[in-house]
Amino acid sequence: MYQFTDRSITPAYRALDTSVAVASLVLALIVMNLPQGALQLGSFFKMRITLANVLLLLSLTFAWPLIFGAFGLYRLHELHSTTIELGRIGKACTLGSAFAVLLALTSESGAFGLASVLIFWMTASMGTAGARAAGRRLLRATARLATNAQYVIIAGTGPRAMQLYRQIVVQTSHDVLGFVDTVAVAPLGPSGPPFLGTIDELEGILVSRVVDAVHIGLPVKSCYAAIEQVIKTCESVGVESSYQADIFPRPLARPWARGIGLVVARKVVADDYRVWAKRVIDVCGALFGLAVLSPVMLAAAAAIKMTSAGPILFTQERFGFNRRRLRMYKFRTMVIDAEARQAELEPLNQAKGPVFKIRNDPRVTRVGRFLRKTSIDELPQLLNVLKGEMSLVGPRPLPVRDVSRFTEASLMRRFSAKPGLTCLWQVSGRSDTSFDRWIEQDLEYIDQWSLALDLQILAKTVPVVMKGSGAF
């Protein structure tokens, strides 16, 4: 996730605004002198740069962001709409033009006159507005390259929700999928996000698509029950919900927080420094595992290639964190047409619930049976860990076929944590464990997660794998 806060984005905005002001000053000089013809540009190029001019230019560079800050142009949570931002830009540029007036009054050559001040004001105002819009798009695009942009839904369609929508667009790299409300409303406009459905339909909406968070923009006084329903639904499905902290507006006392529009998030999983520590452990562990186990992996690859036709690696689309699809890597343990033959084997399924597992699967090769028994077939997933798609410890990623057969929305909560190579299920019986108990253990891991728990599971995984317990 990536979020632009006032503190993180202010330096970029200050540099951008100041650059536009200086460029506008130069442009005003050029525009006022070009109409005189090429032969008359002498006065422009010979304009004396006095100490007073230099001091004024330095003062402009220093004071310009201070003026913009005084008009609240760096308090992003207050810029609820384009109209508010444009109004403040106009006022700030008007005050800042005082420096241009002083420059005109001290210009001995007359190359920068009072008419230049008007051009400077217009150019600075329009240039700042355009540069800020372009800068926001660039920052959001950069954030998308650096991280996965969040997909969010806004609960509400009134003024409060529209204000929240504007804040999300301005301050974050998130994509707003649409709106939900207590009753169906007409489309919100051809260019804006669509109306997705009512709050009663929210559970189905969250199950049917990838949604990272639901931001609540409903008025508390009249929609308390609806807000409570949204939070309860999000918690059940495993999706983060959030609401604005200024739910009790007062003329003097204002809430003070850092984030998108003073938002309070209700997270269903941990989101603090331990997540970064877990990622460091994942990267170091994956690199160490690839280095130490490379002879085993090379031997497995050679055995697969020599004993059966087909590729060495098998890739399958599975559901990962927040139900995002990933291509999971494994050593191929089955015949090349195994997936095409699964339909005919469905009646032999020995697993209860939506998953598919059978003992003595006829599609498994001789080498594949050994690789499965020893879990060597899972080692290529260390590459998924390095890519950030998986973790060393976490709920196992499930195939699309299995997830499509989920009948309860609450089962989706297992995807609120990054999938892993091993988890409680792996060290507690593996395929001998019922599906219901499997899910219980996944949710138990998510709710009780800690770095110490991860280390305990990793320590227990080694003897379990050596014994081959529950593997088939």
Query: Are 30 and 79 members of one domain?
Result: yes
335 shares its domain with 452? yes
Residue 43 within a domain? yes
Q: Give yes or no: residues 428 and 320 share one domain.
A: yes
Q: Indicate whether 185 belongs to any domain.
A: yes
**Do 393 and 424 fall into the same domain?**
yes
Q: What is the CATH number of the domain that holds 199?
A: 3.40.50.720
Q: What span, in angstroms and rounded, lies between the C-alpha atoms of 326 and 315?
A: 10
Please report the pLDDT score of residue 142 as a whole number. 56
CA–CA separation, 370 and 294 (whole Å): 18
237 and 297 share one domain: no
Rounded Cα gap, residues 332 and 335, in angstroms: 8
Considering the domain boundaries, does residue 406 fall inside one? yes
* Same-domain status, 224 and 107: no
Looking at the 3D structure of the chain, how many domains does it have? 3
Residue-level pLDDT at 106 = 64
Query: Angle 357-447-214 (CA atoms, 0-180°, nearest 5)?
Result: 95
What's the confidence (pLDDT) of residue 182? 92
Domain that holds residue 87: 6-146
Q: Looking at 218-286, which runs of residues are DSSP E strands?
A: 240-244, 263-266
Q: Do residue 380 and residue 413 come from a single domain? A: yes
Phi, psi at 143, each rounded to 5°: -65, -35
Both 312 and 446 in a single domain? yes
**DSSP letter string over 419-441?**
-EEE-TTTTTTGGGS-HHHHHHH
Spans of the chain, pLDDT less than 50: 1-4, 37-41, 43-46, 145-147
Predicted pLDDT at 1 = 40
Contacts of the segment 423-427: beta carbons below 8 A, 24+ positions apart: 423/393, 423/394, 423/395, 423/396, 423/457, 424/457, 425/395, 425/396, 426/396, 426/457, 426/461, 426/464, 427/457, 427/460, 427/461, 427/464
- 365 shares its domain with 249: no
Last residue of a domain, one of 245, 266, 287: 266
The answer to whether residues 10 and 98 belong to one domain is yes
Determine, yes or no, domain membership for 1. no
- Report the C-alpha gap between 243 and 213 in whole angstroms: 11
Nearest one of 360, 301, 371, 305 to 333, comparing CA atoms: 371
Distance CA 429, CA 470 (A): 5
In a domain, 472, yes or no: no
Amino acid at site 137: R
Other beta carbons within 10 angstroms of residue 66's beta carbon come to 11
| 396 occurs within a structural domain | yes
C-beta of residue 248 within 8 angstroms of C-beta of residue 224 = no
* Residue 16 Cα distances to 29, 72, 92, 128, 245, angstroms: 20, 16, 15, 8, 30
Q: Give 260's DSSP letter.
A: T
Paired with 170 in beta bridges are none
Can you say whether the dihedral through the CA atoms of 461, 457, 428, 434 is positive or negative? Answer: negative
Residue among 152, 266, 270, 271 nearest 211 (CA):
152
Classify residue 131: in a domain, yes or no.
yes
Per the domain annotation, does 71 fall within a domain? yes
Residue of 154, 240, 160 lying closest to 194 (CA atoms)? 154
* Domain-terminating residue out of 216, 240, 266: 266
pLDDT at 145: 47
> Distance between CA 69 and CA 89 in Å, rounded?
10
Closest to 443 measured CA to CA, from 409, 411, 421: 411
Instruction: Give residue 378's identity as a one-letter amino acid code.
Output: E
Residues 173, 186, single domain; the answer is: yes
Domain end position, chosen among 146, 161, 184: 146
Task: Look at residue 259 in the predicted model and tell me its pLDDT.
Answer: 54
What local confidence, expressed as pLDDT, does residue 363 receive? 93
Cα separation, 391 vs 382, in Å, equals 9
Indicate if 113 and 140 belong to the same structural domain: yes
